């Protein structure tokens, strides 16, 4: 089954490292015109340098409505959006009573508000095309609990999943599918590497031992499903949250 994206315009947020970078590079290698977005210029430079095909980069804070609209309009009609921006914004797990409103908003905004603003910006042109694919990269934390212990992250990812389902219901009549991929533990960026190191040998062994496949995730484990969901092969799949976690009890 060969999947190509020749002639498609694709926007990928969070493309400055890890999962977002891998997704952007794979779309470009398969013929798409890709706009890779992030707040991290150095990371975007690495994304562009390590890719092939038509891949351009742009700085964007996905929580800024005006900036989101400007960047999306400047790129032109996109038929595929992958919202991979998010994460824990450098925070670590702390007791609930120590969390400030600013801590909470910082994580919720980039994960959930960002998904909303990006979808809002691309949908008008997708409706004109009568076709579109929106894929959010959520997390197993949105379906259970976060291994980080960060309350805002679990809540934001659960909200992102709820938004995905609601948008699928709203946009289906226009030929637009909306799905979410919920990765398990993927060692893909400095934050996840720090988390992995913090577990120590015993904690690492416990984590991998709880995974049916007995290994942590790789970027390509997530990007492969993303490409499928974005393709015509998945045109009757929408409103779904698909866990990619190597199997968990």
Q: Please list the active-site residues.
A: 153
Alpha-carbon Rg for the chain in angstroms: 17
User: How far is residue 42's CA from residue 76's CA, in Å, rounded to a whole number?
Assistant: 25
What is the per-residue DSSP string for 129-160? HT-EEEEEE--GGGTS--TT--HHHHHHHHHH
Report helix angle 151-171 to 114-129, nearest 10.
20
User: How far is residue 223's CA from residue 225's CA, in Å, rounded to a whole number?
Assistant: 6
> 240: exposed, middle or buried (C-beta count within 10 Å: 0-12, 13-18, 19+)?
middle
């Amino acid at each position: 089954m060969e999947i190509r994206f020749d002639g498609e315009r694709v926007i990928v947020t969070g493309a400055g490292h890890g999962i977002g970078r891998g997704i952007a590079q794979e779309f470009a290698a398969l013929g798409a015109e890709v706009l890779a977005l992030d707040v991290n210029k150095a990371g975007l430079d690495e994304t562009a340098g390590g890719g092939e095909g038509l891949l351009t980069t742009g700085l964007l804070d996905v929580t800024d409505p005006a900036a989101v609209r400007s960047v999306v309009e400047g790129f032109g009609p996109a038929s595929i959006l992958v919202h991979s921006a998010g994460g824990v914004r450098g925070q670590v797990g702390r007791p609930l009573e120590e969390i400030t409103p600013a801590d909470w908003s910082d994580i919720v905004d980039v994960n959930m508000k960002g998904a909303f603003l990006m979808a809002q910006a691309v949908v008008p042109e997708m409706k004109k095309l009568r076709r579109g694919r929106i894929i959010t990269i959520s997390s197993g934390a949105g379906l259970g609990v976060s291994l980080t212990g960060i309350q805002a992250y679990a809540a934001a990812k659960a909200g992102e999943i709820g938004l995905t389902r609601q948008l699928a219901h709203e946009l289906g009549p226009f030929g637009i599918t909306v799905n979410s991929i919920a990765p398990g533990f993927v060692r893909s960026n400095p934050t996840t590497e720090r988390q992995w190191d913090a577990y120590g040998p015993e904690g690492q062994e416990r984590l991998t031992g709880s995974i049916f496949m007995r290994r942590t995730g790789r970027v390509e484990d997530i990007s492969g499903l993303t490409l499928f969901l974005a393709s015509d092969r998945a045109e009757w799949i929408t409103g779904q949250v698909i866990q990619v976690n190597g199997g968990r009890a």
